[in-house]
Amino acid sequence: MYTGTTAKIKRFYELSTITDQINEYAQRVRAGQIECNLPPCSRCKQGSDSFKRHEARQRIFYTLIEQIITKIFGLLVRWRCPICGKIFTGYPGFILPYKRYVLPTIMEYSSQYTENEQSTYRNILQKNPAGYQKSEQQLDHSTIHRWITSLGSLTQIIRKAQDLILQAKPESTICRDLAALSIPSKKYRKKQRARVLLGVRQLFSIEGLYGLIFKASIFPNLATACSFG
């Protein structure tokens, strides 16, 4: 079953541009206004409420401004467990771990592939080209493939969001809605890839309903609580 979710995906990023979000977050980092919302230490299980701020690390983010791939410098906070000394990085809602491109860009291009039965990686970029300023280098279709692989791996987030939705709205049809989602066979060669693509569709569907119920995105708080798994 194919239903458009792109408008729902965009909803959380319309209040301000992504550039404003990155700059505002950096200002809060400098002012010491970022709270630690990480899960317990993965090494010693110490609660994150006792984590100490370790450092503010500069990070380059990539975003699209009028289809030009633009670098924006921002900050991320790193936290130290006081018991075992393990270091953790906190992520705001506009970025995924280990990804340079901002989350709205990743979700937008990924949704164009998973939510349109006729789309291919290449024709998405033909319709929505993106390139680097003063360079002939363009966004490659393999990048979208990797983005989808990352989004499709967030299965724990999907399960947790579904549980929270059912707790808040027991009458919700979310289980049936997710079960009804499908992927055309022409979009994959192996069943493993089909599961990844289906996971992305489920993530987008969950994100839309979660936002309607809780007035918030699953990123970053729920995603962080699930360790982006």
Predicted confidence (pLDDT) per residue in 8-54, tens digit = 444 334 435 899 999 999 999 999 999 999 999 999 999 999 999 99
Please name which of 9, 184, 209, 212 lies closest in space to residue 93, comparing C-alpha atoms.
9
Q: Would 1 be classed as within a structural domain?
A: no
33, two tokens: 């206004």
Q: Based on the structure, what is the number of domains in the chain?
A: 1
Q: Would 94 be classed as within a structural domain?
A: yes
Domain that includes residue 139, residue range: 6-225
Total residue count of the chain as it appears in this document: 229
pTM of the model: 0.89
Q: Would 21 be classed as within a structural domain?
A: yes
Give the confidence band of 64 by pLDDT, cuts at 50, 70, 90. Answer: confident
Residue corresponding to tokens 């055309």: 184
Cα→Cα distances 100→38, 57, 106, 196, Å: 21, 14, 10, 21
Q: Would 170 be classed as within a structural domain?
A: yes
d(CA 195, CA 171): 27
Give yes or no for a cis peptide into 97 (omega within 30° of 0).
no
211, two tokens: 């936002």
Q: Kindly state the helix (H) or strand (E) to which residue 172 belongs, with its residue range.
A: none
Q: Is 95's pLDDT higher than 50?
A: yes
Q: Would 62 be classed as within a structural domain?
A: yes
Residue corresponding to tokens 């906070």: 77
d(CA 97, CA 83): 24
- DSSP H helical ranges for the chain: 6-10, 18-30, 103-114, 121-127, 141-152, 155-168, 174-180, 191-214, 221-225
Q: What is the pLDDT of residue 7?
A: 42
For 66-174, list the strands marked E by DSSP.
68-80, 87-89, 131-132
